Amino acid sequence: MKSINYLYINSMIFYWECGMPKWCDIELYNKDSGGIDSAEDMLEMAEFLGYRLVSFAGFREWSPVFLEYKTLASSYGLDYVSRIDIIGTTVSEIKFYLKKYRKKVELIVAHPRNIQTARFCARDRRIDAIHFNYEYEFYDITQLKLMYHNEKFIELSIRPLLKSFYGKDFKKTLMAYVSIAKLIRITNVSLIMTSGATRKKEMKDPRSILSLWRLLTNKNFINYMPYRIYVERIINRIEQNREKLSGRYILPGVHLADSHEEN
């Protein structure tokens, strides 16, 4: 009876966390952006796995292909988000890309390579998310507190962890992920987990990603927050960015009325 109750409670937790309007995977790579499979294959798999919002990562600049992705994604019932990744070793380099592309794409994810650029990315509000790289040691509590206070997301890709599973570096990689998960809970910084998939067979369904997050946080960890809240936050950020790109955005919750709204 106890085991049945446990399974029931656990399934209800999954239902609560999975029962959301839009599951998203915003870090997929197709053959145009460093992956192996075509965009169509990746989008088809995303629809099959139950995702509703997706993005292809790996682009360093805006591309007309983003418009094609939106049309193709729509045919699978998916909402596509235009995204660029900024990889910078200097603050001036990052500023250049921000000035050039902030008003052209719906999502900007930074990949800092040293502590100076990491701190800058945590402060600059033009950046939406910072990609976690376990090989760097500047993802400390100071970094995450800065990200929290400036409303940044931390992007946590599961691919490096799964890729290292049978290698000699698995323990080191796992501990890095456990440590960052602990800091995320302590600082309450917003999180978005991604598959980082480069081919469709690497893509994971939402429940698998959720299970890994609950494992990393030991599910009862202090300040545990339902993952669905994180997803709602990133969707709200994307919608806000779209408002800004449309020219109708003024302040959070305040936008210019359409002509049909005025009548």
Per residue in 18-33, pLDDT (tens digit) is: 555 579 999 999 999 9
Domains of the chain: 22-245 (3.20.20.140)
Lowest mean pLDDT among 11-20, 118-127, 215-224, 247-256: 11-20
Does position 177 have pLDDT exceeding 80, yes or no? Answer: yes
Region 194-207: mean pLDDT is 94
Do residues 97 and 84 touch, judged by C-beta distance below 8 A? yes
Cβ neighbors of 179 (< 8 A, separation 6 or more) are none
Per residue in 96-125, pLDDT (tens digit) is: 999 999 999 999 999 999 999 999 999 999
Region 167-171: mean pLDDT is 89
Does position 66 have pLDDT exceeding 50, yes or no? Answer: yes
